[in-house]
Chains A and B, each alone.
Chain A
Amino acid sequence: MDKQDINTEHSHGYGIYVLVWLGLLALTGLTVAVAGINIGGFTIVTALLIASVKAYLVLAIFMHLRSESKIFTVFALVAAFFLIISFILLFSDYSFQ
């Protein structure tokens, strides 16, 4: 394999991206619809859950994490881990004040 092949991998067709885009639009519709229903404390949980799924789709497909070398995913997970840790530590303090 010469250098060019390493540098220009993962060439997809257009199809998968259009599908993901449709999925993202559907999830946007869903999150707006769910926000209209009063389900108390679950509203924020559902909204964040849907937002996370959308973010995952963008990361995995649009940003090519799925076809990228594994080290990229490891990096992204470490970054996400530290952000989530900050939230957990903060709220483990705030929730019990």
Chain B
Amino acid sequence: MSTNTLVHVEVNIHRDDIGARLGMWLFLFTELILFGGMFIIYSVYRFTHQEEFHLAAQELNTIIGTFNTIILLTSSLTMVVSIVAIQKQKRNLSLLFQMLTIFLALFFMVNKYFEWTAKFHHGIYPGSDTLLNENSGHILFFGLYYMMTGLHGLHVIIGVVMISFMMRFTFKGIVTYDNYVKLENTGLYWHLVDIIWIFLFPLFYLIT
């Protein structure tokens, strides 16, 4: 009898996973507006400084950019696979894929670090003398480059922190095969970060 009462209480705990996911999507739309604003600024300056953007983009390393694209796409795969694993009640496999996602995200950031420091060594950073001596299109291109990839990088770091929490939740049994909406929402966030990079990559690295 007492067991029955307990089960009855648990079933009545309010739980709305669809609502939780919809809430996450609404948050993602605010992110879309945040980055969308920057893409609008980029498109206008690119329109008014076409030649200069062209030349400035040649200073970016396409190979690192392509490599980072592959890393981020793969991390999206490991993220979504970690959800399938938890659905199939394979907790350890899910933990492994979450860890792989974090590993790939950090790999992305390490590449970004080397890319940025190489630019700094050449004196290309916002407000540097080398950059300020260039034409205005050049300054705008690198200003947008640092701002947009920087904000994207910040999102990658936030993603790493969130996935770390999910690993802890999965480990402690808070995220389980029949209650994984937290992990799924983290995945949604991670995929959005991936989508933003999908657009950043050709716009900055492939316009030479």
Contacts and interface: CB of A to CB of B under 8 A. Distances in A.
Interface in A49-68: 50-51, 54-55, 58-59, 61-64, 68
A31 B202 contact: yes
Interface string B17-58: 110011001100100110010001001100110000000000
Nearest to B44: A94
A71 B191 contact: no
Interface in B136-162: none
A79 B11 CA distance: 35
Interface residues of A, number: 48
A11 B48 CA distance: 48
Nearest to B46: A44
B84 A11 contact: yes
Contact of A17 (B44, B77, B179, B198): B77
Given A47-B202, A55-B199, A58-B191, A21 B84 contact: no
B206 A31 contact: yes
Contacts of A50: 202
Main secondary structure of the interface of B (DSSP, over half): helix
Contacts of B181: 7
How extensive is the interface on chain B, given as a class? Answer: 35 or more
B21 A68 contact: yes
B102 interface: no
B87 interface: yes
Nearest to B29: A79
Given A32-B62, A44-B207, A21 B198 contact: no
B200 to A, nearest CB: 9
Contacts of A80: 32
Given A62-B76, A63-B188, A28 B195 contact: no
B164 interface: no
19 contacts: A3-B15, A7-B15, A7-B178, A8-B177, A17-B84, A21-B76, A24-B76, A28-B73, A31-B201, A51-B202, A58-B198, A62-B76, A62-B80, A62-B191, A62-B194, A83-B32, A87-B43, A90-B44, A94-B47
Given A35-B208, A48-B202, 10 more contacts: A6-B18, A7-B15, A7-B17, A13-B84, A31-B201, A32-B206, A47-B202, A79-B29, A79-B32, A87-B43
